A and B are shown apart, each in its own frame.
Chain A
Amino acid sequence: MLHTVNKSPFERNTLEACLKRAVPGAAILLIEDAVYAALAGTTLADAMTSAAQRFEVSVLGPDLAARGLENAALVEGVTVVDYGGFVDLAAAKGSVQAWL
């Protein structure tokens, strides 16, 4: 399963809800305003570091770039993917759960 999350974790509990339900080894892709969760140095960074050990966490590059975060330091274990990578993930995981 690929889980996508698109809301800011500072404003909504959507990411938290997803992290509670995803099974170990599941893929989680952070898109749109959820990309802020991937940043190092925030109050959420520790929780995300631990999530990245349990799940395959990635973040969408164009959404980082749009927000001025192209070169920002990310939480360890989180990888950046482009739109092609998004498609590949969806294809590899078979199904997608979008946490809106």
Chain B
Amino acid sequence: MNEQDTDGTVTKRFMIVNRKAPHGTVYALEVLEMVLISAMFDQDVHVAFLDDGVWQLRRGQMPGALEMKDFSKTYRALEGYGVEKIYVEGESLAERGLSEQDLVIPVEVIARADMARLMDGMDVVLTA
């Protein structure tokens, strides 16, 4: 599945999977930092949100109420970091009463079966 670049370096298909809600635990913030760092290594980075991970992208978050940083704004920086392959599982949204319009950034909403195939085709998958 590796793509050979013109200069001979191998680019890996790399996916970071978010399954945790934000704020209650530190996972979402740590994974976001990992995404930003992985963007620096010229890999083919994919970011997926499924299960409770879809809550990370909910609009209107105000964690200032808990004296915590509003890192939901940081997802909007991903485009500038060259991370543009962002997938959200439709079933996970629907189960939670959410729709694409509730999210802070434009994403590609895909069905669970397609998410399964997408994950299966990756070289490296990190899930939290």
List residues of A whose CB falls within 8 A of some B CB. 6-8, 10-11, 32-33, 36, 39-43, 45, 61-63, 65-71
Contacts and interface: CB of A to CB of B under 8 A. Distances in A.
Contacts of B25: 33
A39 B96 contact: yes
B62 A70 contact: yes
Categorize the interface residue count of chain B.
20 to 34
Interface stretch (B35-43, B53-61, B117-125): B53-61
Contacts of B65: 61-63, 65-66
Given A8-B52, A11-B51, A11-B52, A67 B95 contact: no
A39 B24 CA distance: 17
B62 A42 contact: no
B84 to A, nearest CB: 23
Given A32-B23, A70-B60, 20 more contacts: A7-B24, A8-B21, A10-B52, A11-B19, A11-B21, A11-B51, A11-B52, A36-B96, A39-B96, A42-B95, A61-B65, A62-B65, A63-B66, A65-B65, A67-B21, A67-B22, A67-B61, A68-B59, A68-B72, A69-B60
